[in-house]
Amino acid sequence: MRVFDDEDWSEHYLIKGNSGFPTFYFIRRANIDVGLFSNYLVFAGHIRYALSKHYIPVIDCQNYINNYLDPKLLGKENSWEYYFKQPFGIGVNDALTAIGGGVHGKYNFIFRRFYRSSKLILQ
């Protein structure tokens, strides 16, 4: 379920976890005519916000048109990952798998690491 919980939903959306599942904070950029480091700065702000709410940030430059992704690869590759790593190593497909298919061993480890790391980052 997508939840748009404020006026700036064009740059992010939440998929809330339930019964012990984490909440993923998917970050995207609605404006495609921006530079790579403009994206970086905007995404960094959203990552900080996600961590403050104990959400798992995931950069989604896969499902939206952007200057760095060939239109033929829309929905298949994440152009963010051409240049940078995901904040906690969880990509769009990983997050959607965790939500739709339950959290398996690999994801349990990542989620525990995420919660420890996010507390340290925000201190």
Domain boundaries, the chain: 2-122
pLDDT of residue 63: 86
Q: Above 60 in pLDDT, residue 120?
A: no
pLDDT score of 82: 96
Cα–Cα distances in angstroms (integers) from residue 12 to residues 20, 100, 101, 113, 120, in the given order: 22, 19, 22, 23, 24
Judged by average pLDDT, the poorest of 6-10, 23-27, 32-36, 56-60 is 6-10
pLDDT of 117: 54
